[in-house]
């Protein structure tokens, strides 16, 4: 059986920056798209020559990967050695995909796309700084099915300014009407340096976020989508294998500016800007900006915190037995067959529960 190994490819170009986004993305570097993708392909080819294993999952994120030339992105994907049956995902914005683009992706091994939907309510989309409308989402899903892709994800965000619980219910119901095999639903978070962070009047309320999470779990679970990680629901067999690799502390290699890598407790990441990244690759120099080595105790702790977020939970001995017997975690965790798993309410307080890991 092939050992799990992931490849992440970062595409840093966007048509506009959303108010909540702190990722390494740029709206004014589109002239670099061609040389940037050439540089990524070159970096991958060098890693392969150095013995990089075949990938069991590949994830193209950003930014907006669907903005760049599909054939050029396909050439990058072709440079990645993949294991049989590998999962290959590309993030897409609903407004700039069609059957032709997704068909090209499929020709280059892509079997999964993740659509940045965020909301199905126009006023909420506007408040989030998104430019598509719900009809674009419906067209994108039809295109994915027509292109014959194996699966797809709808990426949602709740807690935007002015979003009522009724709006969030509408988003969930309209998303479910598209019969998605996978849904990700994330609470809006405040990232330093973003326009959202600078405007406290638009910051989400914790109680409101909790109500919306519980509604999401109720509706998504009722539609046959199983919660397999705090913010992710899927039908059996449609879980995102690439994200599972992250949550299991697997090894992966990141390509492109700001991309992160991990191998056996060592993490490193590339220079942040596309300009500098292209220069370094062209000069044949390392693209690494910094790294860190995790000692055994830190790695164990991180592994437990990640596993606690998933439906598999953690071994019961990850908690003090007296704590589990005391009732302090009642309602937050279930203990069964030697495993501890978060309840729905526990997922809302996952960070607090994780502090009790030993």
What integer is the mean pLDDT of 241-253? 97
Is residue 212 over pLDDT 80? yes
- Quick one: which of 318, 313, 322, 317 has its CA closest to 301? 318
Which pLDDT belongs to residue 263?
Answer: 96
Is residue 259 over pLDDT 80? yes
Q: Which of 16-25, 187-196, 316-325, 343-352 has the lowest mean pLDDT?
A: 16-25
Is residue 19 over pLDDT 80? no
> Cβ atoms within 10 A of the Cβ of 295, count?
8
Q: How far apart are CA 37 and CA 190, in angstroms?
A: 31
Read off the pLDDT of residues 273-287 as tens digits, 9 standing for 90 and up.
Answer: 999 999 999 999 999
Pairing of strands 260-263, 266-270: antiparallel
User: What residues pair up with 8 in beta bridges, in sequence order?
Assistant: 59, 254
Is residue 317 over pLDDT 90? yes
Read off the pLDDT of residues 78-91 as tens digits, 9 standing for 90 and up.
Answer: 999 999 999 999 99
Q: How far apart are CA 247 and CA 328, in angstroms?
A: 26
User: What mean pLDDT value characterizes the chain?
Assistant: 96
Is residue 56 over pLDDT 90? yes
Q: DSSP letter at 80?
A: S
Read off the pLDDT of residues 158-206 as tens digits, 9 standing for 90 and up.
Answer: 999 899 999 999 999 999 999 999 999 999 998 888 888 788 888 889 9
Which pLDDT belongs to residue 130?
Answer: 84
Which pair of structure tokens corresponds to residue 49? 């020559």
Backbone angles phi, psi at 175, to 5 degrees: -65, -45
Residue boundaries of the structural domains of the chain: 5-246, 308-354
Give residue 115's Cα distance to chain centre: 11
What integer is the mean pLDDT of 222-228? 98
Cα-based angle 68, 238, 73 (whole degrees, multiple of 5): 15
- In this structure, are residues 141 and 98 in contact, taking their beta carbons and an 8 Å threshold? no
- In this structure, are residues 171 and 155 in contact, taking their beta carbons and an 8 Å threshold? no
Output the CA–CA distances (angstroms, integers) from residue 174 to 72, 97, 157, 179, 239, in the order listed. Answer: 34, 19, 14, 9, 21
- In this structure, are residues 81 and 54 in contact, taking their beta carbons and an 8 Å threshold? yes
Q: How far apart are CA 25 and CA 313, in angstroms?
A: 34
Is residue 93 over pLDDT 90? yes
Which pair of structure tokens corresponds to residue 220? 């998504």
In sequence order, the 6+-apart residues with CB closer than 8 A to the CB of 1 are none
Which pair of structure tokens corresponds to residue 181? 């095999």
- How far apart are the two ends of the chain, measured CA to CA in Å? 33
Q: Which of 192-201, 202-211, 235-244, 346-355 has the lowest mean pLDDT?
A: 192-201
Q: Tell me the percentage of the chain whose pLDDT exceeds 70.
A: 100
Rg over alpha carbons for the chain, rounded to the nearest Å, is 21
Which pLDDT belongs to residue 83?
Answer: 98
For residue 44, the number of C-alpha atoms closer than 13 Å in the C-beta half-sphere is 28
Is residue 15 over pLDDT 90? no
Which pLDDT belongs to residue 338?
Answer: 96
Which pLDDT belongs to residue 2?
Answer: 78
Q: How far apart are CA 47 and CA 311, in angstroms?
A: 34
Which pLDDT belongs to residue 124?
Answer: 93
Which pLDDT belongs to residue 337?
Answer: 94
Q: How far apart are CA 225 and CA 221, in angstroms?
A: 5
Which pLDDT belongs to residue 216?
Answer: 98
Is residue 1 over pLDDT 80? no
- Quick one: which of 45, 39, 46 has its CA closest to 68? 39
Which pLDDT belongs to residue 20?
Answer: 82
Which pLDDT belongs to residue 187?
Answer: 97
Q: How far apart are CA 61 and CA 71, in angstroms?
A: 16
Q: Which CATH superfamily is domain 5-246 in?
A: Aldolase class I (3.20.20.70)
Output the CA–CA distances (angstroms, integers) from residue 54 to 47, 87, 117, 307, in the order listed. Answer: 11, 12, 31, 25
Predicted TM-score (pTM) of this structure: 0.95
What integer is the mean pLDDT of 142-159? 97
Which pLDDT belongs to residue 309?
Answer: 98
């Amino acid at each position: 059986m092939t050992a799990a190994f992931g490849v992440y490819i970062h595409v840093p170009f966007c048509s506009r920056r959303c108010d909540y986004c702190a990722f390494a993305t740029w709206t004014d570097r589109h002239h670099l798209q061609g040389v940037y993708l050439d540089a990524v392909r070159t970096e991958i080819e060098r890693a392969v020559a150095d013995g990089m294993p075949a990938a069991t999952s590949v994830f193209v994120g950003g930014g907006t990967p669907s903005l760049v030339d599909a054939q050029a992105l396909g050439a990058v994907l072709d440079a990645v050695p993949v294991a049989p049956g590998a999962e290959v995902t590309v993030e897409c914005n609903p407004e700039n995909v069609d059957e032709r683009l997704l068909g090209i992706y499929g020709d280059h091994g892509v079997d999964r796309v993740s659509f940045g939907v965020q909301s199905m309510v126009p006023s909420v989309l506007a408040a989030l700084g998104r430019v598509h409308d719900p009809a674009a989402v419906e067209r994108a899903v039809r295109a994915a099915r027509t292109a014959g892709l194996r699966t797809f994800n709808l990426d949602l965000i709740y807690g935007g300014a002015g979003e009522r619980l009724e709006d969030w219910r509408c988003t969930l119901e309209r998303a479910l009407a598209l019969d998605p095999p996978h849904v990700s639903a994330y609470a809006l978070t405040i990232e330093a340096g973003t326009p959202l962070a600078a405007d406290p009047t638009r910051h989400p309320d914790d109680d409101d976020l909790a109500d919306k999470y519980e509604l999401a779990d109720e509706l998504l679970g009722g539609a046959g989508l199983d919660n397999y990680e705090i913010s992710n629901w899927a039908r059996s067999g449609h879980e995102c294998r690439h994200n599972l690799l992250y949550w299991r502390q697997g090894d992966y290699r990141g390509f492109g500016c700001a991309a992160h890598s991990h191998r056996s407790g060592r993490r490193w990441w590339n220079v942040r800007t596309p300009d500098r990244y292209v220069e370094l690759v062209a000069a044949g120099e390392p693209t690494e900006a910094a790294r860190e080595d995790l000692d055994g105790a830190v790695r164990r702790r991180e592994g437990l915190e990640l596993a606690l977020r998933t439906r598999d939970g953690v071994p019961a001995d990850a908690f003090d037995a007296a704590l589990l017997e005391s009732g302090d975690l009642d309602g937050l965790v279930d203990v069964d067959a030697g495993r501890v798993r978060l309840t729905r309410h526990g997922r809302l307080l996952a960070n607090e529960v994780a502090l009790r890991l030993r």
